[in-house]
C-alpha cells in the first residue's frame, strides 16, 4: 500500500526524524494562510502517490503568500503527469505547504528488502535529488549499501559508518546517524516495504532534514497496523482496481483492447505475453485466484466488460483447485446480468472438470469462440479484437 508524502512525514516524525514544518490543505486560500505562518516563503507540493512530481511541475517555491495562493490554485485540480503516472496523469486533490529551507546539499537515503541477501538493506548516496535513478544506473558503486539484521535493527556503528561515507562530520554527522537509526526503526516497526528520503537535506546551518518522504507498506501485514490502513487514499487508485479489490481480485488496468481473465498470476502474465506475441495488446491483468468461486468469477467478468476500451475478451483457465465448471457458471451468470454485451469472447478451459465447464458455456445464450490451447486462444482473440470475427 502507498501513502502520501505528508502521511509518511507524519509517521517518520513520531520516530524522531526531522522534517520541514508543513500543513496539508485542499484550497488556495488556506495555502496563503499557512505560507504566512511559515514567514512568507514556502514550498507548494502536490500530494499524489506517484513520484517525479517536481519534473511534472507539481512542486514550486513561493516567495510571498499571494504567490503561494496562485501556485496552489494552479496545482490543485490539475492532471499532474510525471514519469511514474502514465500519460493520463493523476488529479491533484491536496497540496502540502512547507516552510522553505536553505539548501547546502541534497543526499539520498532508503530502506528496502534486498531479496538477494534476504535481509533489509539501507541505501545511501551523497548525490540525492531528482536524478538518483540515473546515478544508480551509471555508477552503482556510488550507492552506499549497509545490510541490516532484522532482529537487531541497524547498529549504531553501522549508522555512523554510513554518515561518515556520506562525508558528514561533527554535529551534522551525529544528526545523520541518529536519523538513519530512526528510519530503520520506522521501517521495521511499521512493516514497511520501502522508506525513501530523497532528498535528505543538509541545511546551511548543518541541520539534517527529510525534505521529501515516501513509504510503502507490506499489504500482507496491514492487519496489524490499523492506523496505517486508515491512511489509504482510494481517490489515488484506479476505480476499477478498487472495485476488484473488494472481491479479492487482482486487477490492473492496462492500455490495450483485449480483456483477459485468468487464474493464477504467472499464467495471467504469460497470457498477456502470448497476446502481445500474436500482435494484440492486453487491456488488463486479471487474476481470479487459485480457488476462484462462481461469485468471484462473476464479479471479475463484470469488471472486465465494464471497461470501455475492451474490444474482445479472453478467458484462459487451467483448473486446479478452481474448477472449470464453477468458472463457466460465473461467466454465464455475469452475462445474464448484462444481456446487451456485444463483445467477442474466446474461451480456453483446461484441467479439473473441463468437460462440464465447456458444456455450460456451449449451452449459454452467447457465442463463445472455443479455443483448443493457449496459442489458438491468443490468435483467435487478437483476430476478434481487430474485427476479423
Partner 1 sequence: MAIWVDNDTRLVVQGITGREGQFHALGCRDYGTNVVAGVTPGKGGQSVEGIPVYDSVAEAREATSCNVSMIFVPPPFAADAIMEAAAAGVELVVCITEGIPVADMLKVRAYLEAHPTRLIGPNCPGIISPGMAKIGIMPGHIHEPGKVGVVSRSGTLTYEAVWQVTNLGLGQSTCIGIGGDPLPGTNFIDTLAAFADDPATEGVILIGEIGGSAEEEAATWVKENLDKPVVGFIAGRTAPPGRRMGHAGAIISGGKGTAQAKTQALTAAGITVAESPAEIGVSMARALEK
Asked whether position 220 contacts partner 1 by CB under 8 A, the answer is yes
The separation between the first and the last C-alpha atoms of the chain, rounded to the nearest angstrom, is 41
From 136, 155, 333, 341, residue interacting with partner 1 (rule: CB under 8 A):
136
Among residues 120 and 173, whose Cβ is nearest to partner 1?
A: 120
Told to check if 106 binds partner 1 by CB under 8 A, we report: no
Residues between 349 and 378 that touch partner 1 (CB under 8 A): 350-352, 373-375, 378
Choosing from 10, 30, 99, 218, the residue that interacts with partner 1 (CB under 8 A) is: 218
245 alpha-carbon distance from chain centroid: 14
Alpha carbon distances (Å) from 210 to 24, 101, 148, 203, 255: 16, 11, 21, 11, 36
The residue from 98, 106, 196, 257 that is catalytic is: 196
Distance CA 243, CA 331 (A): 18
Q: Is the peptide bond before 38 cis (omega within 30 degrees of 0)?
A: no
Which residue in this structure is represented by grid cell 481480485? Answer: 249
Residues with Cβ within 8 Å of 118's Cβ and at least 6 positions away in sequence, in order, are none
- Select from 274, 283, 314, 327 the one that contacts partner 1 (CB under 8 A): 274
b vs e for 152-171, b when ≥16 Cβ sit within 10 Å of the residue's Cβ?
Answer: ebbeeebbbebbeebebeee
Residue 188 lies near partner 1 (rule: CB under 8 A): yes
Give the Cβ contact number of residue 74 at 10 Å. 14
Instruction: Work out which of 39, 167, 245, 290 binds partner 1, going by CB under 8 A.
Output: 290
DSSP 138-159: H-GGGSEEEE-BTTTBS-HHHH
Of 68, 305, 105, 273, whose CA–CA distance to 199 is shortest? 105
Pick between residue 139 and residue 205 the one whose CB is nearest to partner 1. Answer: 139
> Is 245 near partner 1 (CB under 8 A)?
no
How many chain residues touch partner 1 (CB under 8 A)? 55
Taking the C-alpha atoms of residue 56 and residue 357, their distance in angstroms, rounded to an integer, is 50
Active site residue 196: yes
Closer by beta carbon to partner 1, 318 or else 366 = 318
Burial of 139 (0-12, 13-18, 19+ CB in 10 A): exposed
DSSP symbols for 219-248: GGGGGG-HHHHTT--GGGS-HHHHHHHHTT
Identity of the residue, 61 or 265, whose beta carbon is nearer to partner 1 in the bound complex? 265
Q: In whole angstroms, how close is the CB of 195 to partner 1 at the nearest point?
A: 14
Residue 309 binds to partner 1 (criterion: CB under 8 A) = no
**Largest Cα–Cα distance of the chain, in whole Å?**
79
Compare residues 103 and 267 and give the one whose CB is closer to partner 1: 267
Which one of the spans 11-19, 99-107, 281-289, 296-304 is the region binding partner 1 (CB under 8 A)?
281-289
**C-beta of 133: minimal distance to partner 1 in Å?**
6
**Residue 269 in contact with partner 1, rule: CB under 8 A:** yes
Q: Does 175 bind partner 1 (CB under 8 A)?
A: no
Known catalytic residue at 243 = no
Site for partner 1 in 65-84 (CB under 8 A): 84
- Binding partner 1 by CB under 8 A: which of 205, 265, 362, 363? 265
Q: Which residue has the cell 516524525?
A: 13
Interacting residues toward partner 1 by CB under 8 A: 84, 113, 115-116, 118-120, 133, 136-137, 150-151, 188, 191, 193, 218, 220-221, 223-224, 250, 252, 254, 262-277, 282, 285, 287, 290-291, 318-321, 350-352, 373-375, 378
Amino acid at each position: 500500500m502507498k501513502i502520501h508524502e505528508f502521511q509518511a512525514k507524519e509517521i517518520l516524525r513520531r520516530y524522531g526524524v526531522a522534517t520541514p514544518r508543513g500543513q496539508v490543505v485542499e484550497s488556495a486560500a488556506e495555502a496563503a494562510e499557512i505560507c504566512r505562518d511559515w514567514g512568507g516563503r514556502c514550498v507548494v507540493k502536490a500530494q499524489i502517490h506517484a513520484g517525479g512530481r517536481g519534473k511534472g511541475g507539481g512542486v514550486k517555491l513561493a516567495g510571498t503568500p499571494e504567490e503561494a495562493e496562485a501556485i496552489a490554485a494552479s496545482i490543485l485540480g490539475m492532471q499532474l503527469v510525471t514519469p511514474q503516472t502514465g500519460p493520463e496523469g493523476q488529479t491533484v486533490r491536496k497540496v502540502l505547504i512547507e516552510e522553505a529551507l536553505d539548501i547546502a546539499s541534497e543526499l539520498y537515503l532508503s530502506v528496502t528488502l534486498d531479496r538477494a541477501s534476504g535481509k533489509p538493506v539501507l541505501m545511501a548516496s551523497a548525490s540525492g535529488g531528482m536524478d538518483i535513478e540515473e546515478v544508480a544506473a551509471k555508477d552503482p558503486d556510488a550507492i552506499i549499501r549497509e545490510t541490516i539484521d532484522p532482529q537487531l535493527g541497524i547498529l549504531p556503528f553501522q549508522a555512523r559508518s554510513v554518515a561518515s561515507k556520506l562525508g558528514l562530520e561533527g554535529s551534522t554527522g551525529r544528526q545523520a546517524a541518529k536519523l538513519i537509526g530512526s528510519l530503520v526503526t520506522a521501517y521495521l516497526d511499521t512493516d514497511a516495504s520501502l522508506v525513501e528520503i530523497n532528498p535528505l537535506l543538509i541545511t546551511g546551518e548543518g541541520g539534517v532534514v527529510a525534505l521529501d518522504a515516501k513509504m510503502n507498506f507490506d499489504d500482507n501485514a496491514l492487519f496489524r497496523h490499523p492506523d496505517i490502513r486508515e491512511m489509504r487514499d482510494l481517490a489515488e487508485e484506479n476505480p476499477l482496481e478498487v472495485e476488484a479489490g473488494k472481491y479479492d481480485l487482482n486487477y490492473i488496468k492496462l492500455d490495450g483492447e483485449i480483456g483477459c481473465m485468468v487464474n493464477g498470476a504467472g499464467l495471467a502474465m504469460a497470457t498477456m505475453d502470448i497476446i502481445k506475441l500474436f500482435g494484440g495488446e492486453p487491456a488488463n491483468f486479471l487474476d481470479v485466484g487459485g480457488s476462484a468461486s462462481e461469485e468471484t468469477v462473476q464479479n471479475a467478468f463484470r469488471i472486465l466488460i465494464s471497461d470501455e476500451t475492451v474490444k474482445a475478451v479472453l478467458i484462459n483457465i487451467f483448473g486446479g483447485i478452481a474448477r472449470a465448471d464453477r468458472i463457466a457458471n460465473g461467466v454465464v451468470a455475469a452475462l445474464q446480468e448484462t444481456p446487451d454485451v456485444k463483445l467477442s469472447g474466446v474461451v480456453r478451459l483446461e484441467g479439473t472438470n473441463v468437460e462440464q465447464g465447456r458444456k455450460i458455456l456451449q449451452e449459454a445464450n452467447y457465442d463463445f469462440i472455443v479455443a483448443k490451447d493457449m496459442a489458438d486462444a491468443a490468435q483467435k482473440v487478437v483476430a476478434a479484437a481487430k474485427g476479423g470475427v
